[in-house]
């Protein structure tokens, strides 16, 4: 992972711990712009972190959008025979960075 992307993610993680979700969201989005490859594992990990950030803000539309993107690329990998990374996005846990529990969120 690029050094600048890594630094942005570290800053975002610190912001998340400080409950500064708006700052974390901006840093995660900046990292996604730099990665610019939605099919890469690194990009998908950052999308998952952004989903966690949105969930912490109770921005369930943003969370849903991130999880739908992850599901889209997961299904694409399955169609290409590369295997699945998603155990269950709906009511389960997404097995990337830290995981995210959706519980009763209507996705």
Instruction: Provide the residue-wise pLDDT of the chain in tens; the chain has 107 residues.
Output: 699 999 999 999 999 999 999 999 999 999 999 999 999 999 999 999 999 999 999 999 999 999 999 999 989 888 887 655 554 444 444 444 345 544 444 44
Cα separation of 100 and 106, whole Å?
Answer: 14
Cα separation of 66 and 68, whole Å?
Answer: 5
Can you give the pLDDT at residue 86? 53
Q: What percent of the chain has pLDDT over 70?
A: 75
In contact, 26 and 11? CB cutoff 8 Å: no
Can you give the pLDDT at residue 77? 84
In contact, 35 and 28? CB cutoff 8 Å: no
**Structural domains present in the chain:** 3-79 (1.25.40.10)
Can you give the pLDDT at residue 83? 58
Q: What does pTM read for this prediction?
A: 0.75
């Amino acid at each position: 992972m690029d050094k600048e992307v890594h630094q942005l993610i570290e800053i975002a993680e610190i912001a998340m711990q400080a409950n500064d979700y708006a700052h974390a969201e901006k840093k995660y989005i900046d990292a996604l712009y730099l990665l610019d490859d939605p099919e890469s594992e690194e990009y998908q990990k950052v999308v998952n972190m952004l989903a966690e950030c949105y969930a912490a803000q109770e921005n369930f539309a943003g969370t849903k959008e991130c999880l739908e993107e992850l599901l889209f690329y997961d299904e694409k990998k399955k169609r290409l025979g590369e295997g699945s990374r998603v155990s269950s996005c709906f009511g389960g846990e997404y097995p990337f960075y830290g995981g995210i529990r959706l519980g009763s969120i209507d996705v």
